[in-house]
Amino acid sequence: MIETLWTLAIIFIGLLSATIVLVVLKKQQRTKDFSGILLRVKTWWGMFVVFCFATLFNPVVSLLSIMVLCYFSLKEYFSMIKSKKSDRRLYLWCYLVIPVQFYWIYIGWYGMFIVFIPVYVFLFLPLPRIINKGTLGFLRSVSTTQWGLMLMVFGLSHLAYYQFASPEFGSSLVLFLIVLTQLNDVAHYLISLYFGRRKVVPSANPYITWEGFIGAMLVTTLVSYFLYPFLTPFGLTFGILSGVIISIAGYLGSLTISVLKRDLLIDDSKKLETLKGSYLNRIDSLTYTSPIFFHIIRYYFEFM
């Protein structure tokens, strides 16, 4: 408990310092766009408070908070889709999936948790769209909906399962994952902002560059090296590899969500601008890092 309190105190000081530095930079360098980073820092504060309660008191607090996060993320995702009346029934079923998915986590039924959305929901979801709704737009409607469930519910729900899969280390592993994921995002953003030259997908996100990817991976791996002894039961090798894994997974998540949003909103630049401060911009990397890191740990370590 003492080590956990020290770690939370250090993260609090780090967050406070980062907030102050970014506010000062925004005032001094008005030509640079720091809005994306400031939004992520606000998200950090919210997640920090949630996981303080979860770490020190009860993991159910974390589970409920992440369930709400999944709901709002999925809702924002659906708001980007040019839907028809025939899709509303489909969206209703998707919202009903969320509490069921988190119930499997609560009771610790890993087998159902891992197949419920990718198998059962995937096969069931076309039915509400087919019955009395015709065939026009069927494939796009069902496929975009399934993508939303996989990323915003299935991917993010892994954040809640850490603490139930490993009561001893789960909360600290989630803290470790979130700190490194968000640090990787900010490092990538800043390096791309100041040094980025080779853009990966300029039409979707001008702040995703190869320089940012390499620089962020080095920063994240370095921080992982210093942080893993306090928050994880890993040895030196996997402590360092964790930074590499989280950095690559976070990069893929950010890239995928950026391209997905651009594709869905290709004819609606006004809404695309409005959604820059959305939940999806803040948790895009976590949709990939949460499940990938979880399953790698579960495969190689017995405590999960």
pLDDT above 80 for 137: no
Judged by DSSP in three states, 93 sits in: helix
The total of other beta-carbon atoms located within 10 Å of residue 128's CB is: 20
Strand, coil or helix: 233? coil
SS3 130: helix
Note the pLDDT of residue 61: 79
Write out pLDDT tens, residues 163-190.
Answer: 889 888 887 888 889 889 888 988 888 8
One-letter identity of residue 182: Q
Mean pLDDT throughout 1-29? 74
Predicted structure pTM score: 0.85
Chain segment 86-105, per-residue pLDDT in tens: 677 788 899 999 999 999 99
Distances (CA, A) of 4 to 1, 84, 120, 176: 5, 49, 39, 11
Q: Quick check: 267 pLDDT over 60?
A: no
Report the pLDDT value the prediction gives residue 169, as an integer from 0 to 100. Answer: 86
Read off the pLDDT band of 57 (50, 70, 90).
low
> Average model confidence (pLDDT) for the chain?
82
Q: How confident is the model at residue 302 (pLDDT cuts 50, 70, 90)?
A: confident
From 82, 102, 83, select the one nearest 92 (Cα to Cα): 83
pLDDT of residue 149: 93
Say how far apart CA 29 and CA 238 lie, in whole Å: 39
* Residues whose CB falls within 8 Å of the CB of residue 7, separated by 6 or more in sequence, listed in order: 172, 175, 230, 231
pLDDT for res 102:
96
pLDDT per residue over 205-251, tens digit each?
777 888 989 999 999 999 999 989 988 999 999 999 999 999 999 99
Distance of CA 105 to the CA centre of its chain: 18
Q: How far apart are CA 133 and CA 148, in angstroms?
A: 21
Q: Which of the two residues, 238 and 258, has the higher pLDDT score?
A: 238
Residue 35 phi, psi (nearest 5): -60, -40
